[in-house]
Structure 1
Amino acid sequence: MRSIWNGAISFGLVSIPIKLVNATESHSISFRQIHTEDGGRIRYRKVCELEDREVTQGEIGKGYEDADGTIIPITDDDLSHLPIPTARTIEIVAFVPEERIDPLQMGAAYYLAASGAPAAKPYTLLREALKRSNRVAIAKYALRGRERLGMLRVVGDAIAMHGLLWPDEVRAPEGVAPDAGVTVRDQELDLADALMDTLGEIDLDDLHDEYREALEEVIAAKAAGEAPPETPEPSAPGKVLDLMAALENSVRAARESRGEEPAEEAEVRTLPPRKTASRGTPKETGGKKSTSTAAKKTAAKKTAASAKKSTAKSDQSGKKSAAKGTAKKSAAKSTGSKSTTKKTASRRRSA
């Protein structure tokens, strides 16, 4: 991989010579501008305004246009002597947890390659220190005519650097969220969670650019003189009137696409509003209610009367049995006394 910048990482008093290499590449298909009548290429020529002639790339330099229109030439030598330490140095200024970095700030990604054998030891030291600390390094560097902010982190056995926007370059999300107050019900959140669980995770390596593949098919067909493949008609999205129904259908469709059995889901219905009787409306006093009340009172009276009768009968039977027991006891006592008298009389006669 060709380096696009050479410099050094400043890690305290440690200097690590490195080369900056692009970590990403674009696979998008680019087009040329053509003249539609004859297919001729449309080119932009670089012409000097003073001499009115086309110039080569070697004759082109940099210049700053002042407020009055004056052009001030700036050479590469002028840029290499900028009075800042980051002209050719990636200066580490802090180490912070990776969660502190807002993804909105992240931009282009680069690999930092060790430049030469002397850089191997300090390069490895910085890499292992970042690994063990579970932190990232925040650095400042100059690239393409401006000072930039970067984040250094470990990727495999290499150190990668992500260009960061300056904090004041990230716009606040004002006026983006809906203004109207919206309440989300627990049932809707449950269905949203079920949809996320059904979709699950995915290996990012399985994702690919379908648009580019379709574009390549069209180009190949045109080159072969064939008709381009027909585009399938997209299904027209229906107007979502019920969010709950849309979520349920989404969960069902996601499960079917994965070949899963559709689970039985409870149907969520919206209850009709409860009717409230007006205060002026009198309560119903139909015959059913009065008849029921009278029947209940009559039954209660009958129950009380039968309870009194049974109590009286039990009292009478108790008294009778008590009287019988007393009579039997008195008869037994009299019989005992008679037998005792007879025994006494017989003893006296014998004497």
Structure 2
Amino acid sequence: MSTTEANATIFDLLPGQVMQVSEFSPILSKMWSVAMEPGQKPPSEFRASQMNVVLHMGLRTPPEEAHERFQTVIEFAQKYPCRIIVLCPMGREHSDRLLQGKLFSQCYIGDDLRDMCCIEAIIVGYPTREAGFLSNSVSVWLENDLPTYHWFNRVPAERIEQYHMDFVKHTSRVVYDSSIETEDFSKIPWPRAEAAKDLAHARILPVRQNIGQFLSSFAPQKLIEGLKAVTVRHNERRVGEANNLLKWASCCLETCAKSNKVELTAALTCDLSPKDSDNCLELEFSYDNESHFLWTHKTGCDVASVTADFGTGRISIPMQVSFLKGEKALSEALFFG
């Protein structure tokens, strides 16, 4: 990496045409309105925004991750047309700068030539001293009367509470990724806790579906009878997925216990796997009788397996299970998670 690139801010590293932020509104209002030949459709007909998506990156976002997050929202916009706004803080060494702007645009054509959409992304570099005024600036560039979704990526919880709650108050949903955040974002006093969604929870949707489908073939009483412990083990990259899997499993077992009018007393633990483990994620039920359940997922592939015995004989089944990635995980978190 060159010295110039090493000293670059997130704003510097992202693509787009540099311009004054005051130019955003007039340029966006006419960007897709161009003269076309008779019989041709102007690009504006392929731009029908359904929402605003704000990607808000923190100072500690690595360059590769910044590019990945940006590409994710672009791919999301290809399926769900939206106005994208990317917020990139600049550290104290850039405190003398004013707001900086870039405009990124793309015409996307899918497998079918009729599947076309025009994408636009406003990229804003801001000195951290301006954080308290950022919400007012962004409100000018939002598509009016459309829902707004906000994605926080490595923005410290303290700064969210101190400077960015105005964003949260006016958004339909807020998303974050507990597998990369060093703080527990679920403890942030969100104005609407139910609207704050974890991307790690969204990524394990196929996992929850596969495990749930398998366990549904057994009577609830069999799942909780003699249950001593529920344990999730994970590698360093899957800590968020592990915590969400444990919460989901305990919630399901609690429902089983209530249906049988008993109390769930099993110990719930989430542990880091041994370094020599081949699995990235494991879920195990331990019992004081002959019952047993173990689900495992191999690292770096879509191979999973389950072994279980609930009194009707030992069962061992391979599974093909993938974690949701990129725009699929984002759409799950924004709309369904």
Q: TM-score range by the shorter chain?
A: under 0.3
More strand, by proportion = 2
Taking structure 1 as the reference length, what is the TM-score of the superposition?
Answer: 0.21
Higher relative contact order (CA 8 A, sep 6+): 2
